[in-house]
Amino acid sequence: MFPTQRPRRLRATPAMRRLVAETEVRPRNLILPMFVLEGVSEPVPIQAMPGVVQHSRESLRKAAAEAVAAGVGGLMLFGVPTEKDATGSGGVDPDGILNVALADVRSEVGDSIVIMSDLCLDEFTDHGHCGVLDDSGAVDNDATLAIYAEMGVAQARAGAHVVGPSGMMDGQVGVIREALDAAGYTDTAILAYTAKYTSAFYGPFREAVQSSLTGDRKTYQQDHANSREALRELALDLEEGADMVMVKPAMAYLDILRTIADHADVPVSAYQISGEYSMIEAAAANGWIDRDRAVMETLTSIRRAGADQILTYYATEAATWLQS
């Protein structure tokens, strides 16, 4: 009349649950995305992302040092310029906001944390696309690659340990790898945005980078209905020399993350993006969920699905919890 199997025995106390836990999130697994806004002396709050700011150069340095103190594994920097143009020239300019911010952070924290840079043109173009446009208004893949190559070298020279090409241009990893090697930056790693999907969850990010996008990115980002093509993108990125790969977004694509993790022989990252962050914040602000528990539950689920690293706006805060 009584059960012979009692799984609840292994759930009986906090110590028992801790002992048998299969998945662990540690500070080193977390990467903090950071925005730096040109021309400001104080951080500017992002309305759609409560608690996240567009940093000044000085506050960026301070936040980077705080992340190091909390044990965070990496930083991913995004630049927000005051001037944009059709080719995104600010992205390759040594004095452009992203490149000077990389130099600032490298000077502040050195090699004590992995400094990463977003390698994409969308923050720098007046049309908001991730590449340059041809005469018909379509994104010109191959013309964009030439700029990506120059941008990668500029970011490595500025101090990035890792460049993160996120534009989803065909051949981007190979072109950037060739350019980095030719310029002598053979130790600069590439984190490929391998499976980056067209998503409604990017909304708050558009405010964070002051996007000027017209139209959409459906001709180069992946369709959310598809999964097999993620493996094709993975094979191509690895063949071209990717050192790490990424799935973006994370929470609505845990199945893709699991598939990529099962097939990749390099570290796998996932990006808990702006809309995922803002949903947690909005629900918590309304008293509908326990914020801190929801944060750790979602981070654990992303790790459980196969992520070695998680890009998350909660990185420093969660790392502080984990340290204590």
Quick check: is 284 in a domain? Answer: yes
Quick check: is 20 in a domain? Answer: no
Quick check: is 316 in a domain? Answer: yes
> What pLDDT score was predicted for residue 95?
96
CATH code where residue 247 lies: 3.20.20.70
> What pLDDT score was predicted for residue 217?
84
What is the extent of the structural domain holding 184? Answer: 25-219+227-323
Write down the pTM of the prediction.
0.95
> What pLDDT score was predicted for residue 214?
74
Residues in the chain: 324
Residues taking part in catalysis: 196, 248
Quick check: is 282 in a domain? Answer: yes
- Give φ, ψ of 122 to 5 degrees: -60, -30
Number of compact structural domains in the chain: 1
> What pLDDT score was predicted for residue 1?
80
141-158 and 97-109 helices, crossing angle to 10°: 30
Quick check: is 170 in a domain? Answer: yes
Quick check: is 165 in a domain? Answer: yes
Quick check: is 242 in a domain? Answer: yes
How do residues 131-146 score in pLDDT, each as one tens digit?
999 999 899 999 999 9
How do residues 282-311 score in pLDDT, each as one tens digit?
999 999 999 999 999 999 999 999 999 999
- Compute the distance between CA of residue 206 and CA of residue 244 in angstroms, rounded to an integer: 25
Quick check: is 9 in a domain? Answer: no
DSSP letters spanning 82-140: S--BTT-GGGT-TTSHHHHHHHHHHHHHTTSSEEEEEE-STTTBTT--SS-B-TTSSB-
Angle, CA of 243, 271 and 297, to the nearest 5°: 125
